[in-house]
């Protein structure tokens, strides 16, 4: 499928999301996985990884700002936990699925067959890359509206079902309370093809390695590292 055909296809996504991109290339690029370009090296657009990087920052900024303004009575620890629950891979992939992103992913033939966690993380990353493209094309206010309508609406459910009590959030809360330190996560090793990458992530307190975690995404490895760190620290 060439770029012009894709623009026509993506028009239905714009209609369903009630957004209209000035730069259609930005919208398409948000859905281009690296594996697609391995099989289509002549395709005129790059992959979505830079957009994902930007979207991750925009997403965190907006969620942080809204939580801060709308919950003046809540502590930093609570807000941190809520934010982590809102922007984790599980929630983002669920929202991406609900919004129909699965039908627009541009993947290699091998990656198309992959389901389960591999697809979950691709969808979560695509949600972030879409936010990056929306920000570049439409600006912060449109992003804020989109995130409020499609992601922040999940907060009451997250609080009610206590979905914010994941290991990474709990370790951060404990570290801030007991040591006054915010944990840092760094990728120590990674290997494997794009659709089956494995990561080893270390969690650090003041540059001191506390624990390592292994996973098929950075998020999963971070969560595993946090689980081990809670055990090691007996928190």
Task: Please state the residue numbers annotated as binding site for Mg(2+).
Answer: 52, 125, 128
Q: With cut-offs at 50, 70 and 90, classify the pLDDT of residue 202.
A: very high
- Reduced to 3 states (helix: H, G, I; strand: E, B; else coil), residue 198 is strand
Residue pLDDT, tens place only, 84-109: 889 988 899 999 999 999 999 999 88
Q: Is 70 noted as a catalytic residue in this protein? A: no
pTM: 0.73
**Rounded Cα gap, residues 188 and 184, in angstroms:** 12
Check 56, 137, 223, 227 and give the catalytic one: 56
Say what the pLDDT of residue 14 is.
95
Average pLDDT over residues 10-25: 94
The yes/no answer on whether domain 166-235 falls in CATH 3.40.50.2300 is no
Domain residues of the chain, as ranges?
Answer: 1-164, 166-235
Closest CA to 35 of 97, 92, 109, 88: 109
Distance between CA atoms of residues 71 and 204, nearest Å = 29
Distance in angstroms (rounded) separating the CA atoms of residues 3 and 20:
17
- Alpha-carbon gap, residue 43 to 140, rounded angstroms: 29
Q: Which residues are annotated as a binding site?
A: 52, 125, 128
In a 3-state reduction of DSSP, which class is residue 32? strand
Is CATH 1.10.1520.10 correct for 1-164?
Answer: yes
- Respond yes or no: is residue 56 known to be catalytic: yes
Catalytic residue among 111, 128, 220, 222: 128
């Amino acid at each position: 499928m060439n770029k012009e055909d894709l623009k026509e296809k993506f028009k239905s996504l714009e209609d369903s999301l009630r957004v209209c991109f000035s730069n259609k290339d930005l919208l398409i690029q948000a859905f281009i996985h690296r594996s697609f370009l391995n099989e289509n090296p002549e395709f005129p657009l790059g992959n979505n990884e830079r957009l994902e990087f930007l979207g991750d920052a925009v997403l965190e900024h907006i969620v942080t700002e809204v939580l801060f303004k709308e919950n003046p009575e809540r502590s930093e620890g609570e807000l941190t936990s809520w934010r982590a629950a809102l922007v984790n891979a599980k929630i983002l992939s669920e929202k991406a699925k609900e919004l129909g992103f699965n039908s627009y992913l541009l993947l290699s033939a091998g990656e198309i067959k992959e389901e389960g966690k591999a697809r979950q993380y691709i969808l979560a990353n695509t949600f972030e890359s879409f936010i990056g493209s929306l920000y570049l094309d439409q600006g912060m206010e449109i992003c804020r509206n989109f995130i409020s309508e499609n992601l922040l609406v999940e907060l009451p459910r997250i609080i009610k079902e206590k979905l914010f009590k994941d290991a990474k959030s709990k370790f951060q809360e404990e570290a801030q309370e007991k040591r006054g330190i915010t944990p840092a996560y760094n990728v120590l090793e990674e290997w494997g093809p794009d659709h089956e990458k494995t990561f080893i992530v270390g969690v650090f307190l003041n540059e001191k390695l506390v624990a390592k975690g292994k996973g098929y995404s950075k998020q999963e490895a971070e969560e595993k590292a946090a689980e081990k760190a809670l055990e090691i620290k007996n928190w």
